[in-house]
Structure 1
């Protein structure tokens, strides 16, 4: 059954409000939390475009809201920020909390095919259920004008969701995304457990492989990657994605940032650029 989201916390910031909600998700079969930053309206009837933010391994909906500082630019641009959680929680599936890179806090924004992990349907939650919840419960949000971004595992989610749904999102950006998960340990562990052994199923959630099938990407894909990120060479593989974009004639701005790591210090340094990137695309919509 669907239910209206219940507000569980609120904090004023840069003239707007961070509001955290809980609701029952029929898609995932459990209660979920998400946070929305509502910028200050310029008029009572103003409707805000949305930037969805997908967080990385071990994170919740609160990490980005509390650490990124994105609200300052979002307030100025009149963009709402929507941050969902990263996986189902509270289902008590055997093995769901045995490691930090799989199970709870590690939904990988896919629809699992293995029966044991049938509740792990974060792709459908982000693409279908959450926009419907927002549209039906928050009249100040314009879900028809949306962009998507994320970090690490969430960068993987943002890229793959965008590439599979070009009609739903005006632009995409990412920080240190897992761009080629079929070729890295995090992705191989998650995909083999959630999706099974058929690697053709894995390809549906790999941005480096998906970009080869895409056309008509009008807004450049923006990626920031720290050069001192300890996961750069074995997990993230941005140059694989860069090569695939060149092969597909897909517009990509890949910025390698000297000295920066994988943390929210890195994200908060460059987040304003990403907000402005999305604002331009959303306002042209």
Structure 2
């Protein structure tokens, strides 16, 4: 048995040198995937970065340059050939992939702002395809590149576990995403591929700004959370770095709450959230 001096360096740091990662979901520098990408790069990883379309490329390309990303490609997950092209490029350039962060989600505004009861089949299908099936497709394409194992990371939210006012159709969608994490973890575990989700507290991103009463949700979260505050995007990024590293080598099928603890306060949180969102109207 090695003693402490032999096995534990007090100055030990997470090191992803030589590892290759794919970051899907950066829309701008306020996206939750952005601080994750920064931490991956600072830890030594080489990154492939995607953007949705020509409209978003001007916001993403400068960030990819800051990351010194050798691969920058369009990837609208609604277009299967674009996702295939990304993985083909990774296979040609690196021949391997060690981790992915999947941070994409979409739903038509009419379905997001309306009741789940009134959600259209088209809106529901679109939300499930973009938010959930895209992770399944990435797992399928990544498996042959993760020859020595790997890590798939996705982003979820408490609304997938419990009712959060105004989250509407995205609640069932995130619930499906979290179930998908568990099933993928089961299937890919023998290949040493880990699959985990980060359930992040509310952060003001472009996607979040589309939720009705979001400012009230932020206020209610800060009041109800045990830490009495909202989270910072960088805290999600650090959690993603942990999942990409060997420090979580025995963790898979997990939903890690990075939410200042608000998930343990759900009865109070639900009541306060409803009151605050109604006030902010």
RCO higher in 1 or 2 (8 Å CA, sep ≥ 6)?
2
TM-score under structure 2 normalisation? 0.40
Which structure dedicates a bigger proportion of its chain to strand?
1
Which of structures 1 and 2 has the bigger CA Rg?
2
TM-score under structure 1 normalisation? 0.39
